[in-house]
Amino acid sequence: MGFADLIVGAKEEKKSPIVLALDLSPDRPSKLMRKASKTLEAVAPYVCALKLNFHLILPLGTSGVKPLVDSAHSAGLACIADAKLSDIGRTNEVAAGYYFDAGFDAITVSPLPGWEGGLEPVFELAREHGRGILVLAYMSHPGASSTFGLELAGGKKLYEVFVEKALEWGADGLVVGATRPDIIRAIRSRVGPGMLIFSPGVGAQGGDARAALEAGADFLIIGRSIALAEKPGEAARAFLEALGLR
């Protein structure tokens, strides 16, 4: 089973489009692990996937987060490493190997390195291991418009080039900020229904869950509004209730 089938199946089984971004505040590794495990246990019934980034991967290491990945899999969740790989090919390949060895089902990449000598070995490794690749198309923070929204010669926007490359490379999905439903809509009209769209920035960054889904997002990546809530499980359930999914 490929990554797209895995996460779509989890979404249907959990009746939830939410990907939990487990972005915890800095602390001692032992406390981080306890907090992460407790949060994951509380939220697992209300989400379809777990996304980890440097908030936990840096202090715990890829081997240290493996128990979280294993727990998420046991709960029926897909697991994404938000690595945003953006180096030369050999470095990207080595990094991707560590993430895949830790059990992640997919990783995120920046399109900036290009294909030859950049992302080609990552895609090859992912296909060899049956894992997924998500290409960053438009980030969720305000400053992203100064780069991703750049207009190139001929009138094309930079993010449009990134989307074209993701299609050409055979990516499993795109990351497009929920703070920009107009961009989600434009990208959805370009890629059709076959490409998965993951939208971060819901909640703390001001992205609206319903607007993102109505614009064409398949999955909502939600971090601080759930992970840092006093009762994370109830916070996740509240998002689903607001969407009429509970």
Q: Which residues contact 205 (CB under 8 A, 6 or more apart)?
A: 140, 141, 177, 178, 179
What is the C-alpha separation between 193 and 183, in angstroms, rounded?
Answer: 15
Name the phi and psi angles at 209, rounded to 5.
Answer: -60, -50
Residue 213 Cα to chain centre, angstroms: 15
Selection from 77, 67, 172, 88 nearest residue 130 by Cα: 172
DSSP lists the bridge partners of residue 18 as 220
Catalytic residue among 31, 51, 84, 231: 84
Active site residue 84: yes
Give catalytic residues, as residue numbers.
84
